[in-house]
Copies of this chain bind each other. A is one copy, B any other.
C-alpha cells in the first residue's frame, strides 16, 4: 500500500483560520512537506507550527526566491522524487500550502508530477483574498459583479483594461510593483474605492484606505482591493484597525 498525498490549504496566516479537516490531516500525517526559502523561515510551516508534533517527519522544499517567480523544473522534480519515496514506503504525505493550494499556489507543480502515480486529495483553504475583504469590512463582490483577480506583475495596459471591465478587482502579488499600481489606480480615478491590506490575519496586519498608504513599496504578502459598488471608503472600519 502506497501512501496518500494531500495538498493542505492552511489559510492566510492566522493558525485559527485552518479548517477542521486540514487540522485533522495535518496532525495525523507521518510526513509533512512545505515550501521554504533558501534563507529564513517557511511561512506555510509557521502557520501550521502550533499543530506539528515532534514525531512527524518534516521535509522542507527549498525554493530559491528567484525560482519562485520562474519555477525551475529541477526543484519540483527533486521534491517530487523525495515525496515519492515516502509515499512508496506507505507513508501519507501532507504538503502545507499558504492560503488555498490551487489559487495561485505552487502545489500544482507537485500535483502534476505525483497525482497520476499516487492517490491525491486537495483540501481547500481560506484565501488571503477573502481574509483581506473581511479585514477591510467591504464586500469582495456582490450580486452580478464581475470580480477579476489581477496579478501585480502584469503590464499597465492589461491591468487597466481588466480593472475597467470588472465591478470588483483584487490585485495580488503587489510587492515591488506597488508604486506603479497605485499611480495607475489614481489615474483611473479609483483611489477612493481602493483598500490596502498587508500580512492579513497576522499580528502585523495593516489595513487602510489606499489613499492613506505613505510607503512607496509593499511586502510580497500585500493586496489591493477595489470595489466599485460601494459608496466611498468605510472610514470607521479603517480607523478601528490602525
Query: In the bound complex, do residue B16 and residue A141 qualify as a contact, i.e. CB atoms below 8 Å apart?
Result: no
CA A17 to CA B16, docked complex, whole Å = 13
Residue in A16, A100, A102, A166 whose Cβ sees the most chain B Cβ within 10 Å? A102
Q: Is A9 an interface residue (CB 8 A)?
A: yes
Q: How far is the CB of A86 from chain B (nearest CB, A)?
A: 21
Closest residue to A155 on the B side, CB-wise? B144
Closest residue to A14 on the B side, CB-wise? B21
Q: Is A19 an interface residue (CB 8 A)?
A: yes
Copies of this chain present:
2
Closest residue to A25 on the B side, CB-wise? B16
CA A142 to CA B153, docked complex, whole Å = 13
Q: How far is the CB of A131 from chain B (nearest CB, A)?
A: 5
Q: How far is the CB of A60 from chain B (nearest CB, A)?
A: 22
CA A142 to CA B99, docked complex, whole Å = 13
CA A161 to CA B148, docked complex, whole Å = 13
Query: In the bound complex, do residue B21 and residue A16 qualify as a contact, i.e. CB atoms below 8 Å apart?
Result: yes
Closest residue to A106 on the B side, CB-wise? B142
Tier of interface size on chain A: 35 or more
Q: How far is the CB of A169 from chain B (nearest CB, A)?
A: 10
Q: Is A160 an interface residue (CB 8 A)?
A: no
Q: How far is the CB of A53 from chain B (nearest CB, A)?
A: 17
Contacts of A161 in B (CB 8 A): 165
Chain A residues 134 to 159 lying within 8 A of chain B, measured CB to CB, are 134-135, 137-151, 153-154, 158
Q: Is A223 an interface residue (CB 8 A)?
A: no
Q: Is A116 an interface residue (CB 8 A)?
A: yes
Query: In the bound complex, do residue B16 and residue A103 qualify as a contact, i.e. CB atoms below 8 Å apart?
Result: no
Query: In the bound complex, do residue A142 and residue B108 qualify as a contact, i.e. CB atoms below 8 Å apart?
Result: yes
Contacts of A12 in B (CB 8 A): 124
Q: Is A29 an interface residue (CB 8 A)?
A: no
Q: Is A55 an interface residue (CB 8 A)?
A: no
CA A92 to CA B128, docked complex, whole Å = 26
Q: Pick the contact of A124 from B131, B145, B147 — CB < 8 Å?
A: B131
Task: Give 21 pairs: A residue, B residue, CB < 8 Å, sorted on A.
Answer: A17-B20, A17-B21, A18-B20, A100-B133, A102-B130, A103-B130, A103-B141, A104-B141, A105-B139, A124-B133, A125-B126, A126-B126, A127-B130, A143-B151, A144-B151, A144-B153, A146-B158, A146-B162, A148-B149, A148-B162, A149-B149
